[in-house]
């Protein structure tokens, strides 16, 4: 049995992955597709069982997740299994009536103002619900992103890690329109500083 099932839109894979890595580095086990799905398995058979075998359902809440084909189905399974639902909202967006109805009584974490601070809050919240000791307030808190751990160049790793965090915080604070521009520039290999300058110029117009 895993501690947490992570539900997210495929468009938010990078954010979901940094959340998963943060949980793992703080002693919280999690299930997340596609990494946790055995090769050749049927998603529709594996996912319901995975949800039932977890204690907490973590929803990466965004505009995309509300429009996702899979996320509402996963939420339904979570409700059927009486899982605790934690909405982790990564962007400022309108919450649909359906999602408001589903998560209305859940303890939502508004993460788009500061991803780092709220990852810490997420770890504390999950540990509290699981009855585990909270370690995130001391030096053991680690939100290392998924990077190439085989590289021997530690400075390069630190630089990549910092760049990824900056990108995730930038995209978490963005509007849906800005998010599209950020993702487009990221695919073109633009660095965070270049993206920030572009968004700043847009806001001045």
Cα separation, 121 vs 77, in Å, equals 25
Domain ranges for the chain: 2-130, 154-204
Is the pLDDT score of 193 beyond 80? yes
Q: pLDDT digits over 110-153, tens only?
A: 998 888 889 999 999 999 999 986 655 544 455 544 333 333 33
| Separation in Å, CA 195 to CA 62, 64, 145 | 21, 21, 20
Please report the beta strands in 53-126, taking only residues with DSSP state E, as ranges in sequence order.
54-61, 84-89, 109-110
Q: pLDDT digits over 46-70, tens only?
A: 999 999 999 999 999 999 999 999 9
Select the more confidently predicted residue: 177 or 27: 27
Taking each helix axis from N to C end, the angle separating 71-80 and 43-52, rounded to the nearest 10 degrees, works out to 40
Least confident of 35-49, 59-73, 151-165: 151-165
- Kindly report the backbone phi and psi dihedral angles of residue 40, in degrees, each rounded to the nearest multiple of 5, phi listed first: 80, 0
CATH assignment, 2-130: 3.40.50.10140
Q: What is the pTM of this model?
A: 0.69
Cα separation, 74 vs 12, in Å, equals 16
Q: For the sheet containing 84-89, what is the strand order?
A: 30-31, 2-7, 54-61, 84-89, 109-110
Residue with tokens 């974490």: 109
Is the pLDDT score of 83 beyond 90? yes
H/E element, 6: strand 2-7
Structure tokens at 149: 């751990």
> Half-sphere exposure of 3 toward its Cβ, with a 13 Å CA cutoff?
18
Burial class (CB in 10 A: 0-12, 13-18, 19+), 69: exposed
> Half-sphere exposure of 128 toward its Cβ, with a 13 Å CA cutoff?
9
Structure tokens at 33: 């597709």
Q: What average pLDDT is seen over the chain?
A: 81
Cα separation, 192 vs 165, in Å, equals 10
Cα separation, 199 vs 205, in Å, equals 10
Cα separation, 130 vs 51, in Å, equals 16
Least confident of 35-39, 91-95, 194-198: 35-39
Q: How confident is the model at residue 34 (pLDDT cuts 50, 70, 90)?
A: confident
Cα separation, 56 vs 185, in Å, equals 35
Q: How confident is the model at residue 171 (pLDDT cuts 50, 70, 90)?
A: low
């Amino acid at each position: 049995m895993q501690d947490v099932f992570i539900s997210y839109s495929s468009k938010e894979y990078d954010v979901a992955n940094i959340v998963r890595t943060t949980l793992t580095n703080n002693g919280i086990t999690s299930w997340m597709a596609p990494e946790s799905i055995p090769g050749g398995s049927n998603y529709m058979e594996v996912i319901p069982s995975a949800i039932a075998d977890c204690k907490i359902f973590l929803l990466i809440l965004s505009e995309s997740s509300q429009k996702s084909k899979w996320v509402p189905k996963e939420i339904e399974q979570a409700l059927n299994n009486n899982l605790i639902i934690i909405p982790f909202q990564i962007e400022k967006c309108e919450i649909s009536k359906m999602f408001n109805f589903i998560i209305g009584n859940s303890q939502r974490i508004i993460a788009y103002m500061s991803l780092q601070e709220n990852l810490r809050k997420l770890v504390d919240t999950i540990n509290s619900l699981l009855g585990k000791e909270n370690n995130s307030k001391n030096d053991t808190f680690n939100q290392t992103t998924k990077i190439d751990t085989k590289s021997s160049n530690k400075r390069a790793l630190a630089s990549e890690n910092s760049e990824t965090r900056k990108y995730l915080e930038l995209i978490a604070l963005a509007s849906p329109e800005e998010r599209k521009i950020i993702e487009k520039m990221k695919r073109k290999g633009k660095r965070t500083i270049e993206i920030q300058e572009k968004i700043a110029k847009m806001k001045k117009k």
